[in-house]
C-alpha cells in the first residue's frame, strides 16, 4: 500500500493521481474532510481506500498487519495557511502528527517522504538546506522548521528512507479549495476571467512593481521529485524542491494574459499587515538535490502556466 496523507489536498491529490497513473492500485488517501469541498480532488481517482487522519493513526497503532503492508508513506498533510497564528493548533497538526508518523516508519523501516516548506527560510536571501539560513517569518514556517530539526536529530542516519522536500511556490491543478492560499496563477486566471485584469502588489523592499521574485514550481514536477525518491530508497535527507530560478509576479501575470489573449496588469498598494512577514525573494538552491542524483527537470513559468490553464479549460 502507498499512503498519501493530505491526499485530498492540492499536492497530495496530484501525487495520488501520479501514483495511480504509474499503475499503483493500492493508494490509500488519508485526510480530514471536515471541509468537504476537497472531495472533488479525489472523486475521479480510483483509490483503494480513504481514512480520516485520526483513524489512520489508530489503525497504525492497533493493526500490525496493516502496517506491514505499507510500501511507503507520503506525508503531505498539514495546515499550510501562512496567516494562521494559532501556534498550538499548528504545532499539533504539523509537528506532532509528523513525529508520530516518523517514528512509526522508522520502527517498521517504511520509506517516509514528507512535505517541508521554503517558508523555513523566511526573509533569508540564501536558500540552502543549512541551519545558518533558516529563519521563518510565521508559525507555519516554524512548524515545518522544527520538524526538519527533529528529523536531523533523530534520523540523521536512518536505517530506512526519510526524505523532507522543501517545496517552494507550487501551482497547478486541484488547488481551488485553498481559497486565499491558492497560487497567484490561480488567482490571476480568475481575475482576468472576472475583471479583465490581474492585480499585483506595487514595489516594496527595493523591488519594482510586480518585480518581487519567487521560485514558482509546477505541481507535476513536484510529484516527479517525490516519485524519484520512491524509486531511490537508499537516498535520505532534506532537499529543496523548486526550479532553482526565481521569476517575477509579472512573469506569471503575463503568462496568464498571454494564454487568454487579453487582459492587463494593475498594481495595488502593498498591504501593511504583510510588511515584515513577506518573502519578496525565494530561489531554491538545487545543489543538494542534484548531488543526490535526482535529475527531474522543472518547467519555467511560461510553460507551467500554459499547462495549468489548459487543464482548467472547460471541457
* Secondary element (H or E) of residue 179: none
Based on the residue annotation, tell me whether 178 is a catalytic residue of this protein. yes
The C-alpha torsion from 244 through 248 and 254 to 255, rounded to 10°, is 20
> Which residues make beta-bridge pairs with 166?
116, 240
What is the secondary structure of 243-308 as a DSSP string?
Answer: -S--EEHHHHHHHHHHHHT--EEEEEPPPGGGTTS--SB-----HHHHHTT-------HHHHHHHH
* Secondary element (H or E) of residue 234: none
C-beta of residue 110 within 8 angstroms of C-beta of residue 73: yes
Based on the residue annotation, tell me whether 64 is a catalytic residue of this protein. no
If one counts every other C-beta atom within 10 angstroms of the C-beta of residue 21, the result is: 11
What is the secondary structure of 46-107 as a DSSP string?
Answer: --SEEEEHHHHHHHHHH-HHHHHT--EEEE------TT---HHHHIIIIIIHHHHHHHHHHH
C-beta of residue 198 within 8 angstroms of C-beta of residue 248: no
* Secondary element (H or E) of residue 197: strand 197-201
- Count the helices and strands in the chain (H runs, E runs): 11, 13
* Secondary element (H or E) of residue 178: none
C-beta of residue 15 within 8 angstroms of C-beta of residue 4: yes
Catalytic residue among 50, 53, 95, 178: 178
Catalytic residue among 97, 140, 142, 167: 140
Q: Which residue numbers are catalytic?
A: 140, 178
Amino acid at each position: 500500500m502507498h499512503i498519501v496523507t493530505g491526499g485530498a489536498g492540492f499536492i497530495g491529490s496530484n501525487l495520488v493521481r501520479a501514483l495511480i497513473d504509474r499503475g499503483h492500485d493500492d493508494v490509500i488517501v488519508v485526510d480530514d474532510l471536515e471541509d468537504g469541498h476537497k472531495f472533488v480532488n479525489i472523486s475521479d481517482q480510483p483509490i483503494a481506500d480513504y481514512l480520516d487522519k485520526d483513524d489512520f493513526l489508530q489503525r497504525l497503532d492497533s493493526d500490525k498487519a496493516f502496517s506491514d503492508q505499507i510500501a511507503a508513506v507520503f506525508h503531505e498533510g498539514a495546515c499550510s495557511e501562512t496567516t494562521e497564528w494559532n501556534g498550538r493548533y499548528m504545532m499539533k497538526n504539523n509537528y506532532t502528527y509528523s513525529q508520530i508518523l516518523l517514528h512509526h516508519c522508522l520502527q517498521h523501516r517504511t520509506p517516509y517522504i514528507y512535505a517541508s516548506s521554503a517558508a523555513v527560510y523566511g526573509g533569508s536571501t540564501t536558500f540552502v538546506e543549512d541551519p545558518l539560513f533558516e529563519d521563518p517569518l510565521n508559525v507555519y514556517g516554524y512548524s515545518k522548521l522544527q520538524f526538519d530539526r527533529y528529523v536531523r536529530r533523530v534520523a540523521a542516519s536512518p536505517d530506512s528512507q526519510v526524505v523532507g522536500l522543501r517545496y517552494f511556490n507550487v501551482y497547478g491543478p486541484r488547488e481551488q479549495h485553498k481559497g486565499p492560499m491558492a497560487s497567484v496563477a490561480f488567482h490571476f486566471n480568475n481575475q482576468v476571467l472576472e475583471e479583465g485584469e490581474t492585480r499585483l502588489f506595487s514595489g516594496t523592499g527595493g523591488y519594482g512593481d510586480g518585480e518581487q521574485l519567487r521560485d514558482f514550481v509546477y505541481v507535476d514536477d513536484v510529484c516527479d521529485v517525490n516519485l524519484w525518491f520512491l524509486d531511490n530508497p537508499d537516498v535520505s535527507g532534506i532537499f529543496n524542491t523548486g526550479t532553482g530560478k526565481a521569476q517575477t509576479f509579472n512573469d506569471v501575470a503575463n503568462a496568464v494574459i498571454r494564454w487568454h489573449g487579453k487582459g492587463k496588469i494593475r498594481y495595488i498598494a502593498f498591504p501593511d499587515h504583510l510588511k515584515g512577514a513577506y518573502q519578496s525573494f525565494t530561489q531554491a538552491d538545487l545543489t543538494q538535490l542534484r548531488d543526490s542524483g535526482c535529475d527531474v527537470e522543472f518547467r519555467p513559468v511560461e510553460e507551467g502556466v500554459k499547462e495549468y490553464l489548459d487543464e482548467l479549460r472547460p471541457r
